[in-house]
Amino acid sequence: MSNSDLYDQDFVLWTETTCQQLKTRNFDELDIENLIEEIASLGGTGIKPRGCTRRELQSRLKVLMEHLLKRQYVDSEPDYRGWENTIDEKREQINLLLSESPSLKPYLESVFSDCYRYPLKKVSRNYPSVSFPQNCPFTSDILNQD
User: CB of 106 within 8 A of CB of 98?
Assistant: no
Mean pLDDT of the chain: 88
Residues 82 and 139 in one domain: yes
Residues 36 and 103 in one domain: no
Question: Is 68 within the bounds of a domain?
Answer: yes
CA atoms within 13 A on the CB side of 48: 1
Question: Is 49 within the bounds of a domain?
Answer: no
Question: What would the mean pLDDT of 86-107 be, rounded to a whole number?
Answer: 91
Question: What would the mean pLDDT of 29-38 be, rounded to a whole number?
Answer: 88
Helix, strand, or coil here: 20? helix
Residues 88 and 108 in one domain: yes
Instruction: Identify the domain containing residue 88 by its residue range.
Output: 54-143
Question: Is 76 within the bounds of a domain?
Answer: yes
Residues 76 and 129 in one domain: yes
pLDDT-derived band at 93 (thresholds 50, 70, 90) equals: very high
Q: Whole-angstrom Cα distance, residue 3 to residue 82?
A: 41
pLDDT of residue 88: 96
Of 91, 92, 94, 112, the C-alpha closest to 102 is: 94
Residues 60 and 131 in one domain: yes
The residue that leads in pLDDT, 10 or 8, is: 10
Residues 23 and 91 in one domain: no
Number of structural domains the chain divides into? 2
pLDDT-derived band at 47 (thresholds 50, 70, 90) equals: very low
Residues 93 and 25 in one domain: no
- Whether the pLDDT of residue 52 is over 80: the answer is no
The pLDDT tens digits of the residues spanning 14-27 come to: 999 999 999 999 99
Question: Is 48 within the bounds of a domain?
Answer: no
- Whether the pLDDT of residue 131 is over 90: the answer is yes
Question: Is 120 within the bounds of a domain?
Answer: yes
pLDDT of residue 63: 98
Question: Is 17 within the bounds of a domain?
Answer: yes
- Whether the pLDDT of residue 45 is over 80: the answer is no
Question: Is 47 within the bounds of a domain?
Answer: no
Residues 21 and 67 in one domain: no
